[in-house]
Every structure is written in structure tokens, then in C-alpha cells.
Amino acid sequence: MVMAAGLGKRMRPLTATRPKPLVSVAGKPLIDHVLDRLRAAGVARAVVNVHYLADALEAHLAHQSGLEIVLSDERAQLMETGGGLVQALPLLGDAPVLVVNSDNLWIDGPIDTIKQLAARFDPDTMDALLLMVPLSRAHNHGGQGDFHLAADGRITGRRKAGRVAPFAYTGIQILHPRLIADWPEGPFSTMVFWERALAAGRAYGLVHQGLWFDVGTPGAIPKTEAILADG
């Protein structure tokens, strides 16, 4: 599932006339970078949620090839990340699902990142596997990190207020559908599901070996392009 329904407030004024996934970085829209990575990993079908300026995004996606794209329509109400997953459940099936935010851009390390994430996911021991990047390598990321990891990759806790956590969440994850249950009404964050996995000791992280960019603001675009141009 590709999360593409947000309002893109941090990307204003570029999102005044286009949805954030259609903002161009390094010569093509953000969402195209994501879809290219999905194709390269052998993903055959992607569910994409839409809300803000949905018609423009739907028209753009209609011209994609090599990947079946199914829309999860949130025009009536923006459901946030957790609510978006719930609304899309009938389209996602009953297998573990890869969830990718459309506002990040990554370059693979020694092996394909999505394939690496899929190979690491163990349904016997985990309900959530989040791709992490060391805070020191989280390009354009203005936060102070998100999580702490044990040596085996288990997430041992979230960042505490006033502290720094060594790993930032990249916006790429695999969730087991058994975790997506007993949800609150209306829009809500995926954090609701993460907290359950954390409490059960079934939330894990995988450290990304390549480059990763948080492309959430206009200022992040030239910085990202400059690093990519260096080859």
C-alpha cells in the first residue's frame, strides 16, 4: 500500500495546486520514485489511497504500466495512516502488507531494500517490521529520532521527550494483518497498531543500508537533488 492521501501542508506552496505525491524531485514525481522501487522489487499490485486533489493523482496513476494500481478512495474523509489502512483492508488481502509513504525517497544499499525487508519479516516472531535509518544518515530529517533497537532488531522503545533516539523511521514497513484489528472509529495513526506490537515484543526494525531522504518540505528538494547528483 502506498500512502498518498495527505494534505501536504509542510510542502506548501508547492501543494497549493498539486498533491504532494506529484511534486517533482530529481526529474519525476515523488510517487513515481516509490512505484519504480516497487516494480524493481517485483511487486505486482499496489493499493494507493487518495484524498487531497485526488482527481489529479488518479489521472497520473492511470498512465502507469507494469504495476496494477488499485485506488482506496478517501475523498469523503481523510483517514490518516491507521484509518487509511483499515479502509483499504478489503483491497489488501490476508497476507502481510508492505506499506510505503509517498513522501520519502531512498536508494538501495548492497541489495534491494524491499526484498531485504520481505526476507527479514518473520510472521512467527513479529507483527510489524519497520525500516529504520540511523539518525546521522537521515537526510533532511528534522526530528530527533524515533526508536531504540536491540541487537536482534527488536524495537525496545520509542524516543522519550527531551532525548534523542538513534534510529529514524523511514516510512516503509511490513505489517501483519492480525495487527490491524479492534481499531478506533474515524481517522487515527498507525501508532495505535505499533503500540500493540511494541507491548507484545513483536515490533522489529531493519536498518537501511543505502541512502534515505525525507522529502517533506520545499527546502528538502534541492538538498536531495544535490546529493543524488553526486552519483
How many beta carbons lie within 10 A of that of residue 211, not counting itself? Answer: 16
| Average of per-residue pLDDT across 40-66 | 95
Output the pLDDT for position 215: 93
Output the pTM of the full model: 0.94
Residue 12, classed as helix, strand or coil, is coil
Q: Give residue 163's pLDDT band: very low, low, confident or very high (50, 70, 90).
A: confident
| Average of per-residue pLDDT across 33-50 | 96
Write the pLDDT tens digit of every residue in 81-101: 999 999 999 999 889 999 999
Q: Give residue 158's pLDDT band: very low, low, confident or very high (50, 70, 90).
A: confident
Output the pLDDT for position 143: 80
What is the pLDDT of the chain when averaged over all its residues? 93
Output the pLDDT for position 231: 62
Q: Are 57 and 50 in contact (CB under 8 A)?
A: yes
The answer to whether residue 223 scores a pLDDT higher than 90 is: yes
| Average of per-residue pLDDT across 121-146 | 92
| Average of per-residue pLDDT across 139-144 | 85
The answer to whether residue 162 scores a pLDDT higher than 80 is: no
What whole-number distance in Å separates Cα of residue 50 and Cα of residue 189? Answer: 16
Higher-pLDDT residue of 72, 66: 72
Question: Percent of the chain having pLDDT more than 70?
Answer: 100
**Residues in CB range of 23: below 8 A, 6 or more apart:** 8, 11, 14, 15, 29, 30, 215, 221
What whole-number distance in Å separates Cα of residue 17 and Cα of residue 15? Answer: 5
Lowest mean pLDDT among 109-113, 123-127, 139-143, 203-207: 139-143
Q: Are 207 and 149 in contact (CB under 8 A)?
A: yes
Output the pLDDT for position 230: 79
